[in-house]
Structure 1
Amino acid sequence: MTDPEFMNLAETLLRQIESGCDRIADETEVDIDNQRVGGMITITFANRSQIVVNLQKPLQEIWLAARSGGYHYRFDGRQWLDTKGAGELLANLSRAASEQAGVVLRFEA
């Protein structure tokens, strides 16, 4: 994949995550905030825990850091999959956000 292709796919994903945070804040009682700086989104919950999603352009990866650990994702032609077989990015983000918020949250494409 070329760098411009990676950036296009990665930007689409970051916008989906931002939209997901906005939807959760609008449709639920969950106190969730997201801040984007360049290729990094920091999601902050009421308990002050955070999840960070950031682009790693030289590696063509997206990294996710949460209380549950750190994960690296690559695009397989259809979706962003963990490089160590731990699943799809938005599913893992949903799980981590649910754990940190204390309620079920869902991020989707």
Structure 2
Amino acid sequence: MTESEFLDLTDTLLDSLQTALDESALDLDYELNGGVLEIEFDSGEKIIVNRHVPNQEIWVAAKSGGFHFGLNEQGQWRNTRDGSELGQALSQLIGRSAGETFSWQTA
């Protein structure tokens, strides 16, 4: 995939996540700046989602650790260590940080 294709794909992904956050009833703030989405919760906890262009991955930093997600041949963003799916992983991380259920799917 070209860099331009990766940037377009990740722009769409981050837009989708922002829409899901906007439509949720969760009490949080977020800011997107240059491919980095920073989500802040009332507790002061943060989750940072950003694209890593050189590796063509989505990186997630949360209180519980750092995670890297690469696009597989089926078009799914999968954790490079355990194979978990990005949407499911972020839904759990955001829900846990917000203390409420959150659901987001990447496709």
TM-score by length of 2: 0.91
Matched residue type, 1:7: L
Identical aligned residues as a percent: 36
Residue deviations 1:22-73, cap 9 Å, x none? 111xxx2x21111011110001111111100011101111100111111001
Please, which of 69, 73, 78 is the counterpart of residue 73 of structure 1? 69
Unaligned segments of structure 1, at least 5 residues: none
Unaligned segments of structure 2, at least 5 residues: none
Residue 31 of structure 1 aligns with which residue? 27
Residue 10 of structure 2 aligns with which residue? 10
Note the C-alpha offset of 1:85: 2.0
Post-superposition, which runs of at least 4 consecutive aligned residues in structure 1 deviate over 3 A? none
Residue 94 of structure 1 aligns with which residue? 91
Distance (whole Å) between structure 1 residues aligned to residue 88 and residue 11 of structure 2 = 18
Distance (whole Å) between structure 2 residues aligned to residue 71 and residue 58 of structure 1 = 16
Q: Does 1:59 align with 2:94?
A: no
Query: Over aligned residue pairs, what C-alpha RMSD do you find?
Result: 1.1
Distance (whole Å) between structure 2 residues aligned to residue 107 and residue 68 of structure 1 = 19
Note the C-alpha offset of 1:86: 4.1
Matched residue type, 2:10: A
Which structure: greater helix fraction?
Answer: 1
Aligned pair count?
105
